[in-house]
Amino acid sequence: MIGVLALQGGFIEHINTLNKLGIDSFEIRKLSDLENKQIDGLILPGGESTVIGKLLRETGLFAPIKEMIDSGVPVFGTCAGMILLANKLENDPSVYFGAIDITVKRNAFGRQLGSFHTVEEFQSIGSVPMTFIRAPYISEASDVVEILAASKGNIVAARQRNVLVTSFHPELTGDLSVHKYFLSQVCGKT
């Protein structure tokens, strides 16, 4: 079962995508949502990273989710989720989960009006439609990070062990390939 953080942002689109793939999922809004669940993976959706970070602490969810990620539970972060998982932010002193050895630049592609859609190559998948909304990108990645995709010369998808991140929103395109990649390659589900 995949838990989808549902404090703010585009969580329902991830749940709808998982439903299309026949994967059971549930919303994580409060501590009790984590009780008595066999969690095979987590999704941290897009939204506003500062707000999500604040809500994670206010609800008491930050520590147990960090513990799950640190213990190896597969996690997929899109846009704001990528910011929450990065171990460094280029233009912000905040660090949240620090789960992937990357530096992320927030709002790197510009404001809302700078949002765009493109198709780029994604390693092991092929051409993938990508929707960017006030998107960050990865400005630096250590040697232990696998670079999976780039757009406009910037890294927009990467993986390190149990952590997959994208600066784009695959849940908004109707294409299921990036979620399939997460389920098969990161979670080990077939």
Domain that holds residue 36: 2-186
Q: Give pLDDT, residue 189.
A: 77
87, 102, 89: which is closest to 157 by C-alpha?
Answer: 102
Catalytic residue IDs? 79, 169, 171
The most distant pair of C-alpha atoms in the chain lies apart, rounded to whole Å, by 44
pLDDT at 161 over 80: yes
Q: Give pLDDT, residue 109.
A: 67
**Residue 64 maps to which CATH number?**
3.40.50.880
pTM over 0.85, yes/no? yes
184, 165, 167, 60: which is closest to 109 by C-alpha?
Answer: 167
Q: Give pLDDT, residue 27.
A: 97
The token duo for 58 is: 């206010």
Domain count, the chain: 1
Q: What is the mean pLDDT of residues 81-90?
A: 96
Q: What is the mean pLDDT of residues 82-109?
A: 91
- What are the angstrom distances between the C-alpha of 157 and each of 22, 59, 84, 151? 24, 29, 14, 9
Q: Give pLDDT, residue 92.
A: 83
Token look-up 């809500």 returns 55
Q: Give pLDDT, residue 107.
A: 75
Average pLDDT, the chain: 93
- Residues found in the chain: 190
- List, for residues 44-81, the tens digit of each pLDDT value: 999 999 999 999 999 999 999 999 999 999 999 999 99
pLDDT at 87 over 80: yes
| pLDDT more than 90, % of the chain | 83
- What are the angstrom distances between the C-alpha of 113 and each of 109, 168, 172, 182? 10, 15, 17, 29
